[in-house]
């Protein structure tokens, strides 16, 4: 099993990218703190942070791609990447779990309880309904977002993007390059379409339905859950787009394409979150 | 578990001899070596320990006598808050991660951590986060003052210090999640042939399960502080009943993170002690398999007990009963562990070097903390004790005499392997007895204070509590002084300590003691073939290269 010529596990040389990333997050943290408190200088911190972060991401992933192309990543490295990506997705699942937990809590516990007789003294006229329409903290009236218009279309779009992605993957596995290029490209386009429609939906919600983060328990869970989901779609779509560019440059073959799979796993995760979101945020 | 032991395959990559030992400042800034990064973690954790300790002394100085002495209540509250946050996220957690970085690859025969570059990022995110916390003292309104638990609606009201704290928590969360992914993948994927899961060292098991807990709950903490942020600045009502939210929701989400978090600070300690006790008893660990299962069941149970922190917040009696019994249940696997450690010492040929002293101190005092925990878990009793000094006594027994003592034990135990030199045994023992004494002087009276009804996080108190408070303050200052002995011993021994043998402890049998001392800069660049017994005991080692 083991002999003198064993492949060495790849340990990268010292790298400047991580600490550049640390500087970026520091600038972002400080900039964000200033910005939310209305201090103008904060904007520069944010901008600086974003620029440094982008620089770092390009540099770091550039190194990774070069190492991958030079054959540094063999089976054991590949297994590490697979484990790593799986655990990263698990952490994302738990992040969403916190927000879904908040949604379930307000719907099953806090809103019904605020509507009981004891609380009538506190908030006379409070009616425990969902979407919650009354309450001293809810200043403007609003309407809820129904499930069967745009959200249903978006569900279809995301689901088909999952299918096109898998189709592309089959293409990659069986060496059908045009199918890979076309399927993956289509997935990115569908992702972008989803995001576009989501932006349109937000505009509709804010301008016509009067919904905002400040629309009480309904508005906050709606925007926080769909908003974080949208950010993840954006990230996933960027990942897929980068993979697509790498496909065009011929970086992958049937055996060696972890980057493709990582982005695909991430995309499917985002897909599943959307389904749960569709059921609990839009529908029920 | 999928050990990919057969994945070692013929060379594709022969030109690989260019790893020299880097020098100068970039060795630390750009580090990808697990030993360098481990050292960075340990130094950082120690400096945060000093910082958090100074804050603790500021608290104890104020509480020396009733009445306001030094600080206004607002500042006092900032001290308690930052003391807690810094000790938890700045000292204890990074120290354990640092030890895992240093020792895991050596204990399981891996060439480094699985993601060496990301490892660097995990570390270097910590100083910026600490800096944000430091800066928060200087902004208008001062640092966060809501307690380390950052309960809403306190945390939804304060000044900019709270926002800095929130972003610091985000950054520390990213850091610890990446650190944990690294630990898990290293253990699952980089064990040397022969080092199977049910044979590997308890420290590896403990680190694995701790890392799993971190990945499961740090994102939840990130989520809840994000809700605080949007409640503060973007008009949401997560924790405000006026919009249908509920401050109690904060507590639920926080403690869903918070209780596993206390085990994040306890499980690695269990792992460390499970090596030190066998080594100095010159006997194998008693009940290795049951230790593995106990650790796993603690991890699972720790997700089901969070509301024992909320008995007085209002919940249905059935829920109180559920959380009470579930909490008591955790005492069972914890008891299994204590039993096994004692079983290991039983009829062993024991010697009492500094690591062993700290490990035995750990067992005794951690058990005291566990017992006060069981007392607190009884809902009817907790209603009296919630938010009193009894709780403070409880968690300092499990965190200072538990987590911190185990860290001291570990640093003394592995110091020879890390540095190639012995520490001063005399001053080590002195440090132990001194800490043991003053720890108890500081924290034991807090049980009485709590039982008598003294609330925690208050800068002033009723005259009747004076004597015990004075005692605790004297104890705390002496305890703090004692840590300087540790610091001096380490610094001095680093340069002038007696050179250490490859295996300075007669009874040590895990892999790290099979290689040279100090550990070569690149150890196990090629995996050894191992014959391994339980708890990582090495029966035979073939091959394995270092440079
Ligand atoms: C047998 C095991 C344990 C039991 C039954 C237990 C039980 C409890 C209970 C019921 C409380 C809530 C007290 C209150 O707020 O009124 C509590 C608080 C606490 N416990 Fe434990 N505990 C145990 C072990 C641990 C361990 C191992 C640690 C950490 C290493 C720990 C750290 C804490 C902390 C930090 C708090 C206070 C949190 C705060 O309010 O700031 N406990 N424990
Ligand atoms: Cu707890």
Global ipTM? 0.95
Asked whether B62 and B68 are in contact (CB, 8 A), the reply is yes
Annotation marks residue B297 as catalytic: no
Phi, psi at B138, each rounded to 5°: -95, -10
Catalytic hit among B34, B199, B308, B417: B308
Q: Do A83 and B241 touch (CB under 8 A)?
A: no
Token pair in block for residue A242: 């980068």
Quick one: which H or E segment has residue B533?
strand B529-533
Contacts of B253 in chain A (CB under 8 A): 98, 101-102
Radius of gyration over alpha carbons of chain B, in Å?
A: 23
Closest ligand 1 atom number to CA of residue B258: 38
Asked whether B150 and B225 are in contact (CB, 8 A), the reply is yes
Q: What is the mean pLDDT of chain A?
A: 93
Confidence of residue A7 (pLDDT cuts 50, 70, 90): low
pLDDT at A140: 79
Whether B16 has its CB under 8 Å from any CB of chain A: the answer is yes
Closest ligand 1 atom number to CA of residue B377: 10
Identify the residue whose tokens are 């308690």.
B80
**Proportion of chain B in helix, strand, coil states, percent, rounded to 5:** 65, 5, 30
Beta bridge pairs of residue B533: B537
Confidence of residue A1 (pLDDT cuts 50, 70, 90): very low
Check residues A119 and B207 and name the one with the higher pLDDT: B207
Distance from CA of B155 to the nearest CA of A (A): 14
Q: Do A83 and B188 touch (CB under 8 A)?
A: yes
pLDDT at A133: 82
Residue nearest to atom 34 of ligand 1 (CA): B395
Residue B456's CB is within 10 A of a number of other CB atoms, namely 17
CB neighbour list of residue A57: distance below 8 Å, 6 or more residues apart: none
In a domain, B426, yes or no: no
pLDDT digits (tens, 9 = 90+) for A228-246: 999 999 999 999 999 999 9
Q: Do A25 and B242 touch (CB under 8 A)?
A: no
pLDDT at B212: 98
| Lowest-confidence pick of A109-118, A181-190, B166-175, B268-277 | A109-118
Closest CA to A84 of B407, B177, B434: B177
Beta strands B537-542; B529-533: pairing state = antiparallel
A 109-148 residues inside an 8 A Cβ radius of B: 109-111, 113-114, 122-123, 132, 135-138
Q: Select from A34, A83, A105 the Cβ nearest to the Cβ of B185.
A: A83
CA distance B530 to B28: 32
pLDDT at B15: 39
pLDDT at B57: 97
In a domain, B492, yes or no: no
CA distance B19 to A18: 19
Number of domains in chain B: 1
How many angstroms does the Cα of residue A120 sit away from the middle of ligand 1? 37
pLDDT digits (tens, 9 = 90+) for B413-423: 999 999 999 99
Let me know how long chain B is. 547
How large is the average pLDDT for residues A60-74? 93
Residue A281's CB is within 10 A of a number of other CB atoms, namely 23
Q: Select from B110, B116, B241 the Cβ nearest to the Cβ of A114.
A: B241
Residue A139 has pLDDT above 80, yes or no: no
CA distance A148 to B306: 38
Q: Do A220 and B237 touch (CB under 8 A)?
A: yes
CA distance B122 to B48: 16
Question: Probe ligand 1: pick from B272, B337, B363, B391, max atoms within 8 Å of CB?
Answer: B391
The CB of B334 under 6 Å from ligand 1? The reply is yes
Closest CA to B164 of A31, A44, A46, A47: A31
Distance from CA of A239 to the nearest CA of B (A): 19
Q: Do A10 and B238 touch (CB under 8 A)?
A: no
pLDDT at B5: 35
What does pLDDT average to in each consecutive run of 10 residues of chain B (547 residues)?
Answer: 35 45 90 97 97 97 95 96 97 98 97 96 98 96 95 94 98 98 98 96 98 98 98 96 94 97 97 98 97 96 96 92 96 96 96 98 97 96 96 97 97 97 97 98 97 96 96 98 96 96 95 94 92 96 85
Phi, psi at B82, each rounded to 5°: -70, -30
pLDDT digits (tens, 9 = 90+) for A79-101: 999 999 999 999 999 999 999 99
Confidence of residue A221 (pLDDT cuts 50, 70, 90): very high
CB neighbour list of residue B466: distance below 8 Å, 6 or more residues apart: B65, B66
Closest CA to A68 of A280, A251, A269: A251
Closest CA to B529 of B511, B541, B517: B541
pLDDT at A143: 87
Distance from CA of B246 to the nearest CA of A (A): 6
Q: What angle do CA B387, B214, B159 make, to 5 degrees?
A: 50
Residue B532's CB is within 10 A of a number of other CB atoms, namely 25
Containing structural domain, residue B117: 89-257
Asked whether B193 and B8 are in contact (CB, 8 A), the reply is yes
Whether B1 has its CB under 8 Å from any CB of chain A: the answer is no
Check residues A267 and B547 and name the one with the higher pLDDT: A267
pLDDT at A123: 83
Annotation marks residue B21 as catalytic: no
In a domain, B451, yes or no: no
CA distance B490 to B484: 10
B265 exposure class (CB count in 10 Å sphere: 0-12, 13-18, 19+)? buried
DSSP classification of residue B10: B
At the topology level of CATH, where does A76-283 sit? 1.20.120
């Amino acid at each position: 099993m083991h002999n003198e010529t064993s492949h060495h596990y790849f340990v990268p040389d010292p790298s400047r990218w991580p600490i550049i990333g640390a500087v970026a997050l520091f600038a972002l943290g400080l900039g964000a703190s200033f910005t939310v408190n209305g201090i103008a200088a904060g904007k520069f911190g944010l901008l600086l942070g974003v620029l440094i972060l982008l620089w770092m991401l390009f540099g770091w992933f550039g190194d990774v791609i070069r190492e991958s192309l030079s054959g540094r990543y063999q089976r054991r490295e590949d297994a590490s990447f697979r484990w790593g990506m799986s655990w990263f997705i698990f952490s994302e699942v738990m992040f969403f779990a916190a927000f879904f937990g908040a949604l379930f809590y307000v719907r099953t516990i806090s809103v019904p309880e605020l509507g009981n007789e004891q609380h009538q003294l506190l908030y006379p006229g409070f009616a425990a309904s969902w979407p919650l329409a009354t309450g001293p903290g809810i200043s403007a009236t609003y309407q809820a977002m129904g499930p069967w218009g745009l959200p249903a279309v978006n569900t279809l779009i995301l689901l088909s993007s999952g299918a096109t992605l898998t189709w592309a993957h089959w293409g990659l596995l069986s060496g059908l390059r045009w199918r890979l290029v076309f399927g993956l490209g289509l997935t990115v386009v569908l992702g972008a379409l989803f995001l576009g429609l989501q932006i349109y939906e937000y505009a509709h919600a804010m301008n016509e339905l009067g919904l905002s983060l400040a629309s009480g328990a309904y508005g906050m869970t709606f925007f926080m859950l769909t908003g974080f989901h949208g950010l993840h779609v954006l990230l996933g779509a960027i990942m897929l787009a980068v993979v697509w560019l790498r496909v065009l440059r011929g970086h992958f073959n049937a055996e060696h394409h972890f980057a493709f799979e990582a982005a695909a796993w991430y995309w499917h995760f985002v897909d599943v979150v959307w389904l749960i979101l569709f059921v609990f945020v839009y529908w029920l | 578990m999928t050990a990919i032991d057969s994945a070692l395959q013929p060379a594709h990559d022969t030109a690989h001899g260019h790893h020299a030992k880097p020098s100068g400042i970039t060795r630390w800034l750009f580090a990808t070596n697990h030993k360098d990064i481990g050292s960075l973690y340990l130094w950082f954790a120690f400096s945060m320990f000093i910082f958090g300790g100074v804050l603790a002394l500021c608290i104890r100085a104020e509480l020396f006598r009733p009445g306001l002495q030094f600080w206004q209540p607002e500042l006092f509250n900032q001290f308690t808050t930052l003391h807690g946050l810094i000790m938890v996220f700045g000292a204890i957690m990074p120290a354990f991660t640092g030890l895992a970085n240093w020792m895991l690859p050596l204990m399981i025969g891996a060439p480094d951590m699985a993601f060496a570059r990301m490892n660097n990022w995990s570390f270097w995110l910590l100083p910026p986060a600490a800096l944000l916390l430091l800066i928060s003292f200087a902004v208008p309104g001062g640092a966060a003052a809501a307690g380390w638990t950052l309960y809403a609606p306190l945390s939804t009201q304060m000044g900019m210090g709270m926002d800095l704290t929130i972003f610091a928590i985000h950054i520390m969360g990213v850091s610890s999640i990446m650190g944990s992914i690294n630990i898990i993948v290293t253990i699952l994927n980089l064990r040397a042939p022969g080092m199977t899961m049910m044979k590997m060292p308890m420290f590896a098991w403990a680190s694995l399960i701790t890392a799993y807990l971190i990945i499961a709950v740090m994102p939840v903490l990130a989520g809840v502080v994000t809700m605080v942020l949007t409640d503060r600045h973007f008009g949401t009502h997560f924790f405000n009943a006026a919009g249908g939210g509920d401050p109690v929701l904060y507590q639920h989400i926080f403690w869903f993170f918070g209780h596993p978090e206390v085990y994040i600070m306890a499980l690695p300690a269990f792992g460390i002690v499970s090596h030190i006790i066998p080594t100095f008893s010159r006997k194998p660990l008693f009940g290795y398999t049951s230790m593995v299962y106990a650790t796993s069941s603690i991890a699972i149970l720790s997700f089901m007990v969070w509301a024992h922190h909320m008995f007085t917040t209002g919940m249905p009696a059935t829920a109180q009963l559920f959380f009470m019994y579930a909490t008591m249940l955790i005492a069972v696997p914890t008891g299994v562990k204590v039993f096994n450690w004692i079983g290991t010492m039983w009829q062993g040929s024991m010697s009492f070097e500094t690591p062993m002293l700290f490990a035995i101190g750990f067992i005794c005092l951690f058990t005291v903390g566990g017992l006060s925990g069981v007392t607190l878990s009884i809902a009817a009793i907790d209603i009296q004790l919630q938010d009193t000094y009894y709780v403070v006594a409880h968690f300092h027994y499990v965190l200072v005499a538990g987590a911190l003592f185990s860290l001291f034990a570990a640093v003394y135990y592995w110091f020879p392997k890390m540095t190639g030199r012995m520490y001063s045994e005399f001053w080590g023992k002195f440090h132990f007895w001194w800490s043991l004494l003053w720890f108890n002087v500081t924290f034991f009276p807090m049980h009485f204070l709590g039982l008598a009804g003294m609330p925690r996080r208050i800068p002033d108190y009723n005259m009747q509590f004076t004597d015990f408070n004075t005692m605790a303050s004297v104890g705390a200052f002496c305890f703090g002084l004692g840590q300087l002995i540790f610091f001096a011993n380490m610094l001095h021994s680093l340069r002038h300590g007696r050179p250490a043998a490859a295996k300075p402890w007669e009874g040590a049998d895990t892999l790290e003691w099979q290689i040279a001392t100090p550990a070569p800069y690149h150890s196990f660049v090629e995996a050894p073939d191992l014959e391994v017994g339980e708890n990582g005991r090495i029966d035979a080692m073939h091959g394995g290269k270092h440079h």
